[in-house]
Amino acid sequence: MNRQERRLSRRVLLRRAGLFGLAASASALLGACAGQQATPTPAPPAASPTPAAAASPTAPPATPAAAASPTATVGPAAGEIVIGILATLEGAFALYGEEAVRGVELAVAEFGGAIAGKKIRLVKESTDATPQVAREKARKLIEQDKVDCIVGPLSGDEGLALRDYAKTIPDKTIVNGTSAAQDTTLRDPAPNFFRFSTDGVQWMAGLGTYCYEVKGYRRVATLGEDYSYPYSQVAGFLLEFCRLGGDCVAQFWVPIGTKDYSSVITAMPSDIDAIYVILGGADAVNFLKAYADFGGKAALIGGSSTIDQNVLETKGALRERVIGIPGAMPVAADNPDPAWKAWVDAYRKQFPQGLSTPSLFCWGYYVNAKGLLLGLQAVNGDLSDGQKELQAALAKVEFDGPTGHIKLDKNRQAIANNFVVEVAEGPDGNLYNKLVRVVEGVNQTLGLPEDKYLALGSFTRDNPTCEKIKQTFGS
């Protein structure tokens, strides 16, 4: 080591920090290349894929991106349809991503791995739940992997990014994963972005009413992560709760990945009946733990991801803290519907190492993939003419999924059932979401008049307030 560097050197550190940044981006690049895995679909016999089915002479005039892509212009006779899965397979949401991929694989297996004789090939790509990376990875799927359609993304802000990206690739089709920011389809929607899953506002249908009428809560505070999906969730809850006469006295928004909630809990007002909590994954676990440690008195109300199956399967002492928390989501573990039971059986059979009950992430990717496959079936796998026929067919797709009937509205957004649930302990000791109420056919405005609803404006960290909801719709 030379003389100048003998002392503890700031420069050494800074240079190394620079190297770290450099290396981190280099590794991200490497990861981008290595992360792509072609998944053989399980069911079909090895129909030999014809990867370079050269652009057929009848191919339509294509955009530059598509022109460079042989598989993008395959005619009906060509061998395969390539579907890209965009999900978060790393970091704090890794488990959600695993569930997402299972959902797509489940749907593909249901169709025997092929549509109209064309083999379906899946290409997985992982995001880190940020909009920038989601867009970048979607571009990679379209431009390098030459996928025909994308299923994804997983998280709220990513969905908004892909809606905007979808507008730049009109001859490709994106169906959502579980991304649930409402504005993705409500405001300024993209004509080739379809969402067969319901959004964060719809996922709250029934909960505000249940908390007000059955639980008797009148004053609540809310706590959520600071991005588009929790904004939708809080709004969805307040839309019902405030119209009935409830009050929201304080709102807290914390950065994603906040570890230590002790000071937020201390800052909660003491004269409330309940705290509405919408945090995902480890954030939810950390909050629940701190809340119990600090002897929190107010009851808790769970957003859809706060009491999702992924959180309920936390290893360790969490269980006493979550039993009895009410919440709402598009799935309920003990749904008596035979279609749900059959679906859960199929899940357990195909993924013995999976969760005890499929999570809402599995459901979201499943229904979206299924919608896409039904659309593909309707056009016999014909992706010519810039996928126009496929997109027209997708808009008309209606089906009975594991949680009931699903159809799309004029913005290509699902209208579907929603479930009010309560965390309970099953006979096998596993925690699950016990069905309390079914709310049928929930549309994007929760049945409220659309003009008034749109006049509320985009949901943000301070919109809508309880007062505004009461003024707009009358309490």
Report whether 126 contacts 90 (CB < 8 A).
yes
Determine, following the binding rule CB under 8 A, whether residue 323 of this chain makes contact with another protein.
no
When binding is defined by CB under 8 A, the residue of 313, 337, 389, 425 that contacts another protein is 313
Q: How many of the other CB atoms lie within 10 Å of CB of 187?
A: 13
Backbone angles phi, psi at 360, to 5 degrees: -70, -20
When binding is defined by CB under 8 A, the residue of 182, 314, 384, 413 that contacts another protein is 314
When binding is defined by CB under 8 A, the residue of 339, 396, 461, 465 that contacts another protein is 461
Nearer to another protein, 318 or 448 (CB): 318
Determine, following the binding rule CB under 8 A, whether residue 467 of this chain makes contact with another protein.
no
When binding is defined by CB under 8 A, the residue of 61, 295, 338, 474 that contacts another protein is 295
Please give the structure tokens belonging to residue 417.
């059932």
Binding to another protein, residues 232-291 (CB under 8 A): 252-255, 257-264, 266-267, 281-282, 285-286, 289-290
Determine, following the binding rule CB under 8 A, whether residue 311 of this chain makes contact with another protein.
yes
| Amino acid letter, residue 444 | Q
Residue 198 burial by CB count (10 A; 0-12/13-18/19+): exposed, middle or buried? buried
Find the helix or strand (DSSP H, E) in which 284 lies. Answer: helix 281-293
Q: How far apart are CA 400 and CA 466, in angstroms?
A: 36
Find the helix or strand (DSSP H, E) in which 193 lies. Answer: strand 193-194
Provide the sign of the torsion angle of the four alpha carbons 431, 435, 439, 441, taken in this order: positive
Nearer to another protein, 34 or 52 (CB): 34
Q: How far apart are CA 162 and CA 172, in angstroms?
A: 12
Nearer to another protein, 129 or 416 (CB): 129
CA atoms within 13 A on the CB side of 438: 14
* Min dist. Cβ of residue 184 to another protein (A): 23
Report whether 30 contacts 113 (CB < 8 A).
no
Nearer to another protein, 87 or 374 (CB): 87
* Min dist. Cβ of residue 24 to another protein (A): 7
* Min dist. Cβ of residue 270 to another protein (A): 10
* Min dist. Cβ of residue 128 to another protein (A): 10
When binding is defined by CB under 8 A, the residue of 43, 92, 323, 415 that contacts another protein is 92
Residue 213 burial by CB count (10 A; 0-12/13-18/19+): exposed, middle or buried? exposed
Q: Provide the residue count of the chain.
A: 475
Binding to another protein, residues 4-23 (CB under 8 A): 4-13, 15-17, 19-20, 23
Q: Which stretch binds another protein (CB under 8 A): 75-83, 95-103, 162-170, 371-379?
A: 95-103
DSSP codes joined into one string, 83-138? EEEEE--SGGGHHHHHHHHHHHHHHHHHTTTEETTEEEEEEEEE--S-HHHHHHHH
Question: If binding means CB under 8 A, how many residues of this protein chain bind another protein?
Answer: 62
Tell me, what DSSP letter sits at residue 146?
Answer: -
- Per-residue binder mask for another protein (CB under 8 A), 20-59, x = binder: x--xx--x---x----------------------------
Determine, following the binding rule CB under 8 A, whether residue 293 of this chain makes contact with another protein.
yes
Report whether 323 contacts 314 (CB < 8 A).
no
Q: How far apart are CA 473 and CA 453, in angstroms?
A: 9
Please give the structure tokens belonging to residue 86.
């965009």
Nearer to another protein, 213 or 260 (CB): 260
Q: Which stretch binds another protein (CB under 8 A): 74-82, 305-313, 329-337, 372-380?
A: 305-313
* Min dist. Cβ of residue 172 to another protein (A): 30
* Min dist. Cβ of residue 10 to another protein (A): 5
Report whether 266 contacts 252 (CB < 8 A).
no
Nearer to another protein, 103 or 206 (CB): 103
DSSP codes joined into one string, 380-396? TT--TGGGHHHHHHHHH
Nearer to another protein, 63 or 430 (CB): 430
When binding is defined by CB under 8 A, the residue of 80, 84, 86, 98 that contacts another protein is 98
The DSSP bridge partners found for residue 422 are 326, 434
Q: How far apart are CA 210 and CA 205, in angstroms?
A: 10
Determine, following the binding rule CB under 8 A, whether residue 410 of this chain makes contact with another protein.
no
Nearer to another protein, 93 or 193 (CB): 93
- Per-residue binder mask for another protein (CB under 8 A), 364-403, x = binder: ----------------------------------------
Binding to another protein, residues 137-196 (CB under 8 A): none
Q: How far apart are CA 387 and CA 72, in angstroms?
A: 10
* Min dist. Cβ of residue 470 to another protein (A): 25
Please give the structure tokens belonging to residue 127.
């995001």
Give me the residues that bind another protein (CB under 8 A), please: 1, 4-13, 15-17, 19-20, 23-24, 27, 31, 90-98, 226, 252-255, 257-264, 266-267, 281-282, 285-286, 289-290, 293-295, 310-311, 313-318, 461
